[in-house]
C-alpha cells in the first residue's frame, strides 16, 4: 500500500509541474505575441509594396458610354454597357485603376470609327480596333484583349411627326362637385407636340398622353401643368403641357315640344299619338341664355316604321347643340297610323 500511495503522489506532483510549465509558457507567449504580430504585418507590408512594382496580367471592367451616332439614325440594338479589359501593367497601376474613384466611363465616339456594314442599317466594329483609343485614357497600362471582341450596331431612320396631345383622365365619378359639370371639352395647351423617333413607332402613334390627371370635387375650371408620358425611343420637343378642365354649375330644364315627322311620302299621311313630348336636359349656367325652344327638335322617321313591334316609332332629337346633355325624352316611343291622302 505504501508504494502505491508513493506512486500516486509522484504522478500528482509531476502533473502539477507540467501544469506550471504550460502556464509559464503561455505567459511568455502572451508577452511575445504583439511583437510577433508587428513583425508579421511589417513583413506583409514590405512584400505588398515590393509586389506592386512587378508586372502582372489582370482584368479590369470598365463602364462604356457611346456618343455621336450617325445623323438621322437611332440605335435600336442593345450594346454592352461594360467592357472587360485584359491588361498588363505594374501592380500599383492595376490597383489604382480598380479603385471605384478612378473608374470612369469609357466614351466611344461612334462617328470616329469605321463601322463595317453587315446588312441594312446594321454594322459592326472589332473591339481590337479600340485598343489605341482606350489606352489614351489608361496611363501605363497595356491592353492585351477586350471582351466582347465585336460590337454590333443596328440603326433605324429617324423621322419627325406632329402628334396630338390628350389628357389622361381616369374614370373618376368624384371629379366634379355636386351640381357642377364639364362646360366643354377637356383640352391640352398646346394641343400637339413634335415627336422624333423611328418611323415604325410614329406611323402608328395617334396620341401622346399626359401623366394621369387626378382631381376631386372641382367647382371651378382647372388649369394645371402635367408631364407627358415618356415613350421609349421617342423624343419630344417639349416635356410638359397645360391641361384645362372647364367646370361650371349646371341647371336642369324641361321643354314641351311638338314632334315632327320626316321622310313621309307625298301620297301618305303619318299620324302620331301623342303629338308632343317633354324633353329634359341639363345646361351650364354660362350657356343658359343661348338656348331657345327651337333648338330642341324631336322627330320620328317614317323609314323606321316596322322596326319596333306593333305600330310604334322611336322619338329622337336632331341638330341638338352639344352644350345640352343628359337629354331625356318622355315618352320615348309613340304610336302611329299611316293613311293615304
Q: pLDDT tens-digit profile of 45-83?
A: 656 555 555 676 788 887 888 888 777 788 878 888 888
Long-range contacts from 64-71, C-beta under 8 angstroms, 24+ separation: 64/105, 64/106, 64/108, 65/105, 65/106, 65/107, 65/108, 66/108, 66/110, 67/107, 67/108, 67/109, 67/110, 68/109, 68/110, 68/111, 68/112, 69/110, 69/111, 69/155, 70/110, 70/111, 70/155
* 270 and 334 inside one domain: yes
The secondary structure of residue 303, as a DSSP letter, is G
Q: Are 78 and 139 part of one and the same domain? A: yes
The pLDDT value given to residue 189:
96
* Per-residue pLDDT at 125: 83
Residues 127 and 166 in one domain: no
Find how far residue 283's CA is from the centre of its chain.
39
Residue 199 has pLDDT above 70, yes or no: yes
The residue from 148, 174, 207 where one domain ends is 148
Q: Is residue 163 part of a domain?
A: yes
Q: Is residue 15 in some structural domain?
A: no
| pLDDT over threshold 70, residue 7 | no
Mark whether 279 and 209 lie in a shared domain: no
Please tell me whether residues 144 and 59 are part of one structural domain: yes
pLDDT score of 259: 93
In a domain, 92, yes or no: yes
Model pLDDT, residue 36: 58
Q: Are residues 256 and 334 located together in one domain of the fold?
A: yes
For residue 166, pLDDT beyond 90? yes
Query: Which domain does 122 fall in, by range?
Result: 55-148
pLDDT-wise least confident of 82-91, 181-190, 199-208, 217-226: 82-91
Q: Is residue 3 part of a domain?
A: no
* The pLDDT of residue 123 is above 70: yes
- Judged against a pLDDT cut of 80, whether residue 37 lies above it is answered with no
* Region of poorest pLDDT, from 27-31, 139-143, 260-264: 27-31
CATH code: domain of residue 300: 2.170.120.30
Q: Is residue 307 part of a domain?
A: yes
Interval 273-304: pLDDT, tens? 999 999 999 999 999 888 887 889 999 998 88
pLDDT band at 242 (very low <50, low <70, confident <90, very high): very high
Average pLDDT, the chain: 82
Q: Does residue 59 sit in the same domain as residue 75?
A: yes
Residue 205 CB: number of other CB atoms within 10 A?
A: 14
Checking if the pLDDT of 226 tops 70, the result is yes
Write down the pLDDT at residue 340: 85
Check whether 168 has a pLDDT greater than 80: yes
Q: Is residue 124 part of a domain?
A: yes
pLDDT of residue 35: 61
pLDDT at 2: 47
Q: Would you place residue 4 in the very low, low, confident or very high pLDDT band (cuts 50, 70, 90)?
A: very low
> Is 32 a domain residue?
no
In this predicted structure, the answer to whether residue 28 has a pLDDT above a threshold of 60 is no
- pLDDT at residue 116, rounded to an integer: 77
Per-residue pLDDT at 13:
58
For residue 316, being part of any structural domain is answered with: yes
Is residue 162 located within the same domain as residue 95? no
Considering 122, 148, 174, which residue would you say is the last residue of a domain? 148
Shared domain check, 143 and 59: yes
Domain count, the chain: 3
Q: Where residue 184 sits, what CATH number does that domain have?
A: 2.170.120.40
Question: What's the whole-model pTM score?
Answer: 0.59
Measured CA to CA, the distance from residue 248 to residue 221 in angstroms comes to 7
- Please check whether residues 171 and 205 belong to one and the same domain: yes
If asked whether residues 124 and 165 sit together in one domain, one would say no
How far is residue 231's CA from residue 235's CA, in Å, rounded to a whole number? Answer: 8
* Choice among 51-65, 155-169, 255-269 with the minimum mean pLDDT: 51-65
For the stretch 102-122, pLDDT in tens is: 567 777 777 777 777 777 778
Q: Are residues 278 and 233 in the same domain?
A: no
pLDDT band with cut points at 50, 70 and 90 for residue 8: low
Among candidate residues 195, 225, 245, the one where a domain is terminated: 245
In the numeric block, which cell numbers belong to residue 47? 512584400
Which of 93-97, 109-113, 275-279, 307-311 has the largest mean confidence? 275-279
Amino acid at each position: 500500500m505504501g508504494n502505491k500511495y508513493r506512486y500516486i503522489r509522484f504522478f500528482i506532483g509531476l502533473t502539477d509541474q507540467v501544469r506550471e510549465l504550460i502556464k509559464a509558457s503561455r505567459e511568455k507567449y502572451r508577452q511575445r505575441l504583439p511583437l510577433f504580430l508587428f513583425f508579421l504585418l511589417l513583413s506583409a507590408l514590405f512584400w505588398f509594396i515590393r509586389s506592386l512594382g512587378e508586372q502582372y496580367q489582370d482584368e479590369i471592367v470598365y463602364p462604356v458610354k457611346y456618343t455621336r451616332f450617325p445623323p438621322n439614325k437611332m440605335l435600336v440594338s442593345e450594346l454592352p454597357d461594360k467592357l472587360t479589359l485584359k491588361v498588363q501593367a505594374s501592380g500599383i497601376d492595376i490597383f489604382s485603376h480598380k479603385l471605384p474613384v478612378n473608374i470612369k466611363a469609357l466614351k466611344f465616339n461612334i462617328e470616329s470609327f469605321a463601322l463595317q456594314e453587315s446588312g441594312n442599317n446594321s454594322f459592326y466594329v472589332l473591339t481590337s480596333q479600340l485598343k489605341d483609343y482606350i489606352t489614351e485614357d489608361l496611363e501605363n497600362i497595356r491592353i492585351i484583349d477586350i471582351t466582347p471582341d465585336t460590337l454590333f450596331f443596328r440603326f433605324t431612320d429617324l423621322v419627325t411627326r406632329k402628334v396630338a396631345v390628350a389628357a389622361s383622365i381616369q374614370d373618376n365619378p368624384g371629379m366634379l362637385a355636386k351640381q357642377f359639370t364639364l362646360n366643354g371639352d377637356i383640352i391640352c395647351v398646346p394641343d400637339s407636340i413634335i415627336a422624333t423617333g423611328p418611323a415604325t413607332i410614329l406611323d402608328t402613334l395617334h396620341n401622346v398622353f399626359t401623366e394621369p390627371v387626378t382631381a376631386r370635387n372641382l367647382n371651378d375650371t382647372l388649369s394645371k401643368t402635367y408631364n407627358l408620358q415618356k415613350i421609349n425611343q421617342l423624343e419630344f420637343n417639349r416635356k410638359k403641357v397645360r391641361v384645362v378642365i372647364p367646370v361650371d354649375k349646371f341647371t336642369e330644364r324641361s321643354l314641351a315640344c311638338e314632334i315632327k315627322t320626316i321622310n313621309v311620302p307625298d301620297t301618305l299621311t303619318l299620324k302620331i299619338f301623342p303629338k308632343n313630348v317633354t324633353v329634359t336636359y341639363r345646361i351650364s349656367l354660362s350657356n343658359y341664355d343661348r338656348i331657345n325652344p327651337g333648338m330642341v327638335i324631336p322627330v320620328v322617321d317614317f323609314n323606321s316604321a316596322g322596326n319596333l313591334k306593333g305600330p310604334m316609332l322611336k322619338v329622337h332629337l336632331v341638330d341638338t347643340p352639344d352644350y345640352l346633355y343628359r337629354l331625356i325624352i318622355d315618352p320615348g316611343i309613340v304610336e302611329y297610323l299611316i293613311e293615304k291622302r
